[in-house]
Structure 1
Amino acid sequence: MTLVKFKRRPFGELLSKDFFNMDDFFDSRTWNTGLMNTDFWNGKTMEPALNIKETDDHFEIELAAPGFSKKDFEITIEDGFLNVSAKKEMTKEEEEENYSRREFNYASFERALQLPDSVVEEDIKAKYTDGILKFNLKKREEAKKRPPKVIEVG
């Protein structure tokens, strides 16, 4: 038996296989390890991050969507889902004597949240400030938490 010094390959077992699988490379090495993540976008699906807080009488939802304006959002309620989408396009062109410069940028997302039956759909409010889209979803009266009722034993 001969001992051979182990030489680690740059991409581990991906290159030691007979065939290099590009799908495995991007699924397991780049996208799932957080290399594509930012503070606001979860890099795998390009959906904005959100926080949901439940209180006794309402839900608060905060959706991180920096760089958009109020007019960029489309918010609908359909079949028990709160659908939030936004699109923003920017084009800038400069024509000078020696050069031409054209820049463009496009950003969009869609997010659908299933609403619980306890929410009053007609009373949902939305507000966008400082890159955060906030929703206030009031609960129905019968769904609000009530203090415990004490029953005396007779």
Structure 2
Amino acid sequence: MSTLVNVPKNRNLANSNSNQNFPMLTRLEDIINRELPSIFTTDFNTGPTLPKVNISETTDAFTIEMAVPGLKKSDFNIDLDHRTLSISTETREDSQKSKAAYIYNEFEYSSFRRTFTLPECVNDKKIKATCNEGVLSILLPKKDEAKQKPPRRIKIS
């Protein structure tokens, strides 16, 4: 089996700090003088949807690499249930930093869950995960009997 999952091509990791379409409000008069409906019809979907994934295969293992900038290893839950590998995260920013009334504030919350059906040739007891420089890598070693053997010559007796 050369692929672990069929991933739609239209999934992308958007810039989560993009507010170029959202007006900067500096004074209370600016809020009162603006048309509120135009603020609320702005495209608010600027956060990440699902991180992009690369899946590679060698003779010894599969590797899943997931682009997760800004996240650390403690943000992830990686679970294995039979042959289903689930990668999920949920991050929240504490909104109690300031007791002052605010005019503009963005909630800090994001989550995702990706699942992969592993082929039977994966040795589930030796799966390892690392997170380094915004990339989560999961090594899925193959069972010894599933590893491709090099070609050999058979002597005729």
Tell me the TM-score normalised to structure 2 length. Answer: 0.63
Q: Which has the higher contact order (CA 8 A, sep 6+)?
A: 2
Q: How does 1:1-154 map to 2 (within 5 A)?
A: 37-38=12-13, 46-92=49-95, 93-95=97-99, 100=102, 103-153=106-156
- Which is greater in Rg? 1
Where does residue 21 of structure 1 map in the other structure?
Answer: none
Partners of 1:103 and 1:52 in 2: CA distance: 34
Partners of 1:63 and 1:39 in 2: CA distance: 14
Where does residue 36 of structure 2 map in the other structure?
Answer: none
Tell me the secondary structure at the aligned position of residue 71 of structure 2.
coil
Over aligned residues, Cα RMSD in angstroms? 2.8
Superposed CA offset, 1:68-108 (max 9, x none): 22221111000211110001001343245xx5475421111
Superposed CA offset, 1:112-147 (max 9, x none): 011111111011000111111101111111111111
Task: List alignment gaps of at least 5 residues for structure 1.
Answer: 1-33
Tell me the TM-score normalised to structure 1 length. Answer: 0.65
Partners of 1:37 and 1:53 in 2: CA distance: 19
- Say which structure is richer in strand: 1
Task: Tell me the number of residue pairs that the alignment of Structure 1 and Structure 2 aligns.
Answer: 116
Task: List alignment gaps of at least 5 residues for structure 2.
Answer: 1-9, 17-45
